[in-house]
Amino acid sequence: MTRINIPKKPERKFVDEDLIIDSWKKIEKFYENLMHREISTLQELKKWMNDRSELESVLEEDMAWGYIKMNIDTTNKNLAEKFNFWINSISPKVSPYNQKLNLKLLENPLINELDPDKYKIYIRGVKKSIEIYREDNIPLFTEMKKKEQEYGAICAKMIISHKGKNLTMQQASALLKENDRKVREKIYLKISNRRKKDEKALDKLFDDLINLRKRIANNAGFNNYRDYMFAAMGRFDYTATDCYQFHDSIQHYIVPTINNFEQERKVRLKINNYKPWDTEVDIAGKKPLKPFNGSNELIDKTIQCFNKVRPFFGECIEIMNEMKHLDLESKEGKAPGGFMYPLYEIGVPFIYMNAVGSQRDLVTMVHEGGHAIHSFLSRDLEIADFKSTPSEVAELASMSMELISMKHWNVFYKNKEELKRAKLEQLKRSLETLPWVAAIDKFQHWIYTNDHNSQERREKWNEIHNEFGSNVIDWDGQEKLREILWQKQLHLYEVPFYYIEYGMAQLGAIAIWREFILHGDKAIEKYISALKLGYTKSISEIYETAGISFDFSSSYVQELSEFISAELNKIEN
């Protein structure tokens, strides 16, 4: 194996090299310097912007490590306290300075001499931040962040017992692929009953979060939190109405296709009542796919797979492994979910997962690996804000890699039939993702634009689930679980309104994969060029650089759905 170069943190030009962030006083002097520094030339303005970016990168990375470590071990009170120190003692004091620094930037006439092609997206974002900032919201943000942490802590304690062993929800869910239907039902009911134990706690937590978010929106002059978040997330390229139309397109073109998938499964399984615990098992009675054993093998095979796409991609994962920027296996006390956390100062991100050895874990790894590659490709951009991409772009990087990497999944599967099964499952999931995305997003729109209680929320979820869920699955006896299915979606609690982007990016990823099939390495070059832009161009321009359109019209949804169906037929036949 070629020796890799491990990146080092760049030499700091503004922040002290030996800074230990254990008090606000140690940080305040840097903000005061930026606030009171004279800026009389364009060169001085750029130096000021770079110094501010360096400070933000240092602080963000320090907070990131606190968040990562706390999630890895939610039982460690010291780790929680260290992260809460950030939430309580640092973040609230940074916000007023950010507002003042943003105003200082916009009020300086030299801003008009900055290259508009390079800085227009950044300046647009600064203007929007100033517009929605309210000092009254600072303590509410602090309270909200603390509340959001409670979700991970609650879910991390969810375990079931099976054959004398404690299993996390992720480990237990892997058993839903077992061929023995009685085992699947038993596991499903155990998972369901365990989730129901925290139903009221999660309802109460969500009510608290909704109330806090409403207050934040009202303070900022918005009628509802949905409209506030569209502004806060910088959604300049589409509206709430566009989202509703996207929901309708998915319901019209994708849901019937998914129902056909489920009906075929029901027929092939030869069962009269197709239950929720029948949706994951192999229809031919084959054992669950096992692409790797343990995190080390997952890492090694991912590196091999990515190397075949482009050696640089494999090197990214290799660097992260060498630097111990990977924590992949599910274990007790570890918060649920998976993420890639960018670390802007060192420029080498961190991947966090809850792997149990399943095909879904393979997909999660290449998904987060796509995010990581994006982070590496944009690491040399001049300021931190250039590297902070909107989720419509971030998820394009990750979801495209899910499909592109399929060409080399023979690294994970030596058996051709298993490889075929894995590809079929992935392509079907690329469409199956869309109705769930639409359901969660439509649910959020309703939640934050309508006053309601927990019972009305359940009724609305059932209504939406009827629109986007399978009409083949028999929920008799499981109605109570069905009405709280939304509680398992982390985004609702921790990152509200970060979800429709998965649907938009899924369409983009399918389009990139189509380009990859047609044009091979040329499509990879365009993919790389798009990711290198970071957030220096609009979403539409970044998609265009990747060789595709930022489009979620009904005709485009239909076109890409038909393309996936055609590719499925090729693999099956």
**pLDDT 10s digits, 167-200:** 999 899 989 999 999 999 999 999 999 999 999 9
Residue 228, in any domain of the structure: no
What is d(CA 379, CA 346) in angstroms, rounded to the nearest whole number? 9
CA atoms within 13 A on the CB side of 383: 20
Burial of 467 (0-12, 13-18, 19+ CB in 10 A): middle
CA atoms within 13 A on the CB side of 487: 26
The mean predicted confidence, pLDDT, of the chain is 95
Residue 345, in any domain of the structure: no
| 158, 199, 481 from 193: Cα distances, Å | 10, 10, 8
What is d(CA 389, CA 542) in angstroms, rounded to the nearest whole number? 10
Residue 439, in any domain of the structure: no
**How much is the pLDDT for 1?**
43
398, two tokens: 């990750």
Residue 36, in any domain of the structure: yes
- Mean pLDDT for 252-272 is 95
The H or E element spanning position 355 is strand 350-355
pLDDT of 384 strictly over 50? yes
Residues 385-426: tens digit of each pLDDT: 999 999 999 999 999 999 999 999 999 999 999 999 999 999
Q: What is the pTM of this model?
A: 0.92
User: Strand pairing of 339-341 and 350-355?
Assistant: antiparallel
pLDDT of 244 strictly over 70? yes
| 21, 93, 319, 352, 473 from 462: Cα distances, Å | 47, 42, 46, 32, 14
**How much is the pLDDT for 337?**
87
Residues 481-500: tens digit of each pLDDT: 999 999 999 999 999 999 99
Number of domains in the chain: 1
Residue 31, in any domain of the structure: yes
**How much is the pLDDT for 4?**
78
| 144, 343, 359, 401 from 299: Cα distances, Å | 35, 20, 14, 16
Residue 475, in any domain of the structure: no
pLDDT of 363 strictly over 50? yes
Burial of 342 (0-12, 13-18, 19+ CB in 10 A): buried
Beta bridge partners of 352: 327, 339
What is d(CA 163, CA 177) in angstroms, rounded to the nearest whole number? 17
Tell me what percent of the residues of the chain surpass a pLDDT of 70.
99
pLDDT of 44 strictly over 70? yes
CA dihedral (405, 407, 411, 413) positive or negative: positive
pLDDT of 94 strictly over 90? yes
pLDDT of 277 strictly over 80? yes
Q: Give the chain's length.
A: 573
pLDDT of 549 strictly over 70? yes
Fill in the DSSP letter of residue 495: S
Burial of 47 (0-12, 13-18, 19+ CB in 10 A): middle
**How much is the pLDDT for 3?**
66
Domain span at residue 83? Answer: 25-114
537, two tokens: 């161009």
- Mean pLDDT for 49-75 is 96
Residue 37, in any domain of the structure: yes
Helix, strand, coil abundance in the chain, percent, nearest 5: 70, 5, 25
Residues 284-321: tens digit of each pLDDT: 899 999 999 999 999 999 999 999 999 999 999 999 99
DSSP letters for 382-405: SSHHHH---HHHHHHHHHHHHHHG
Residue 508, in any domain of the structure: no
